[in-house]
């Protein structure tokens, strides 16, 4: 019988040469006969859910345009967490964030007429960077609308990449409303940062890469803002490895998905300032929520102290200057928020490294004080 790695490789090779399924959920593969009863039934009940086929085809669109980032065990982080941690280093993308996966797939899916007119998006930064970078690569005009308090490093880089940058409002919701108005007035295609199936499919390629590199794991831990990455990862994992737990992690100061799961639908929640500013979304997307309800096993929250300590741990273990959002999944592992994973093999997505150096330095100082207090106790 094939090992998990061999079956996943067989699956990828077979799907890349198979015509696209005409109906959602219609895809099957002889090398993976058990595309999870839960997965298949969920697709049949809700045809708006993505299939594994959608993500595999997104991967073909991204080939040569998005980096295949390293995925490897981290002994130092594993020792700190009490589990075997395998890190997916997706902050090593050209723009410093996983977000360019979804951005590139959305841009590559446009019609020629839509490409000529251009796109507009609202973003706290990383989605905007992904669109700006790949818009330049593909020759597609990009306008990005950011809240006024968006990190300056992200706004400045978008401008350098050739995007038109508009600062509007105090929240993501303010920026989004303005971006939608621009789309209507100027005939631009609106590319939502997370509530867009093409974006979600692109984000799911992170999980395809990770499972090809490390198929024998017990759980996959993913940061959550609007839920696009979690939705894409969960779609892949539950299709290929239904036994693997998928866990979303969000900051307690912006716990939109936890609130949505409790209410049974996306609900607007209050957000507070957080180190994970890229995850500060007040309303979970409808598409991500549907995928989370179908495929996600658990959602946990982390505190601001947890986030600061995770930034310090990542810096000391790998010399990387992660942003808070990029270290959120790691924070849950280090802070003991996932006790059932003790001693298990756990994939952890480190997803972004776009942070103002001064803010990162302040977070590390805070974390060192917290660590000293913990040792003293």
246 and 361 fall within a common domain: yes
183 and 330 together in one domain: no
pLDDT given for residue 20 in this prediction: 36
Q: Decide: 180 and 143 in contact? Cβ < 8 Å.
A: no
* DSSP helix/strand/coil, 191: coil
Residue at 25 is within a domain: no
Q: How does strand 164-167 pair with strand 84-89?
A: unpaired
> Which stretches within 264-303 are classed as H helix?
286-295
Q: In terms of Cα–Cα distance, which of 111, 287, 257 is closest to 197?
A: 287
The vertex-256 CA angle with 252 and 257, nearest 5°, equals: 105
Domain assignment present for residue 133? The answer is yes
d(CA 270, CA 306): 20
Cα gap 292→227, rounded to integer Å = 8
Which residue, chain included where needed, has tokens 């982390």?
302
Q: What is the pLDDT of residue 376?
A: 78
With respect to residue 305, please indicate whether it lies within any of the assigned structural domains.
Answer: yes
Residue 144, beta-bridge partner list: 121, 165
Residue 131 belongs to domain with CATH number = 3.40.50.1100
- Residue 110 burial (CB count, 10 A): 18
**Calpha distance 30→47 (Å, rounded):** 22
How far apart CA 107 and CA 144 sit, in angstroms, is: 14
Which of the residues in the chain have pLDDT under 50? 1, 4, 15-36, 39-40, 43-44, 47
Say what angle helices 99-108 and 197-213 make with each other, to 10 degrees: 130
Question: SS3 of 155, please?
Answer: helix
Of 222, 206, 65, 196, nearest to 123 by C-alpha is: 196
Q: Answer yes or no: do 307 and 204 share one domain.
A: yes
Which pLDDT does position 201 carry in this prediction?
A: 98
CA 346 to CA 325: how far, in whole Å?
19
Considering only CA atoms, which of 248, 301, 278, 253 is closest in space to residue 355?
A: 278
Same domain for 177 and 163, yes or no, is yes
Q: Which helix (H) or strand (E) holds 92?
A: none
Domain final residue, candidates 152, 171, 190: 190
* Residue 207 φ/ψ region, left for φ over 0, alpha for ψ in the -120 to 50 degree band, beta for the rest: alpha
DSSP 30-45: TT---S-HHHHHHHHH
Q: pLDDT tens across 168-203, in order?
A: 998 777 888 999 999 999 999 999 999 999 999 999
Within-domain flag for 1: no
CA angle 204, 103, 264 (to 5 degrees): 55
Q: Same domain for 93 and 147?
A: no
d(CA 58, CA 323): 26
Structure tokens at 324: 């808070």
Backbone phi, psi, residue 333, to 5°: -70, -45
Write down the pLDDT at residue 9.
60
Domain range spanning residue 125? 99-190
150 and 281 housed in the same domain: no
Q: What 8-state DSSP symbol labels residue 19? A: P
Strand order in the sheet with 71-73: 71-73, 84-89, 345-350, 219-223, 245-251, 298-302
One domain for residues 165 and 204? no
Please check whether residues 238 and 292 belong to one and the same domain.
Answer: yes
pLDDT for 24 equals 30
Residue 352 and residue 260 share a domain: yes
pTM of the model: 0.88
Q: Which of 167, 190, 213 is the last residue of a domain?
A: 190
Which CA distances in Å does 357 have to 92, 322, 338? 17, 10, 30
Which residue in this structure is represented by tokens 């969920």? 42
> Of 249, 279, 316, 289, nearest to 125 (Cα)?
279
Quote the pLDDT of residue 39: 47
Question: So what's the pLDDT on residue 348?
Answer: 98
DSSP assigned state of 77: H
- Beta-carbon contacts of 195 under 8 Å, excluding residues fewer than 6 positions away, are 226, 228, 285, 286, 287, 288
Domain count of the fold of the chain: 2
The values of phi and psi at residue 17, to 5°, are: -110, 10
Out of 134, 168, 190, pick the residue that ends a domain. Answer: 190
Can you read off the two tokens belonging to residue 244? 């693997």
Query: Does residue 34 fall inside a structural domain?
Result: no
């Amino acid at each position: 019988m094939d090992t998990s790695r061999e079956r996943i490789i067989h699956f990828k090779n077979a799907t890349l040469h198979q015509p696209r399924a005409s109906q959602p959920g219609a895809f099957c593969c002889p090398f993976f006969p058990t595309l999870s009863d839960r997965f298949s039934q969920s697709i049949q009940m809700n045809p708006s859910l993505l299939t594994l086929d959608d993500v595999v085809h997104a991967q073909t669109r991204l080939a040569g345009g998005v980096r295949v980032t390293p995925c490897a065990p981290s002994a130092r982080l594993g020792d700190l967490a009490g589990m075997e941690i395998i890190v997916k280093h997706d902050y090593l993308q050209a723009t410093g964030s996983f977000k360019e996966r979804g951005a590139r797939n959305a841009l590559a899916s446009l019609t020629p007429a839509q490409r000529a007119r251009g796109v507009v998006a609202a973003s706290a930064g990383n989605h905007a960077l992904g669109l700006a970078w790949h818009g330049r690569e593909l020759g597609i005009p990009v306008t990005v609308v950011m809240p006024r308090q968006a990190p300056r490093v992200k706004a400045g880089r978008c401008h350098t990449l050739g995007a038109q940058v508009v600062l509007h409002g105090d929240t993501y919701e303010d920026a989004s409303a303005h971006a939608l108005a621009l789309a209507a007035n100027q005939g631009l295609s609106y590319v939502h940062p997370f509530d867009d199936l093409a974006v979600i499919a692109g984000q799911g390629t992170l999980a395809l890469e990770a499972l090809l590199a490390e198929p024998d794991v017990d759980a996959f831990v993913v940061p959550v803002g609007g839920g696009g990455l979690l939705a894409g990862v969960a779609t892949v994992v539950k299709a290929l490895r239904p036994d693997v737990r998928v866990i979303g992690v969000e900051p307690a100061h912006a716990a939109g998905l936890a609130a949505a799961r409790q209410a049974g639908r996306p609900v607007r929640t209050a957000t507070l300032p957080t180190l994970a500013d890229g995850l500060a979304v007040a309303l979970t997307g409808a598409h991500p929520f549907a995928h989370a309800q179908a495929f996600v096993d658990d959602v946990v929250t982390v505190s601001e102290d947890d986030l600061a300590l995770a930034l310090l741990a990542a810096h000391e273990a790998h010399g990387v200057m992660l942003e808070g959002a990029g270290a959120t999944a790691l924070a849950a592992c280090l802070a003991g928020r996932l006790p059932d994973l003790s001693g298990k093999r756990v994939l952890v997505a480190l997803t972004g490294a776009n942070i103002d150096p001064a803010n990162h330095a302040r977070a590390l100082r805070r974390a060192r004080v917290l660590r000293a207090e913990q040792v003293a106790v």
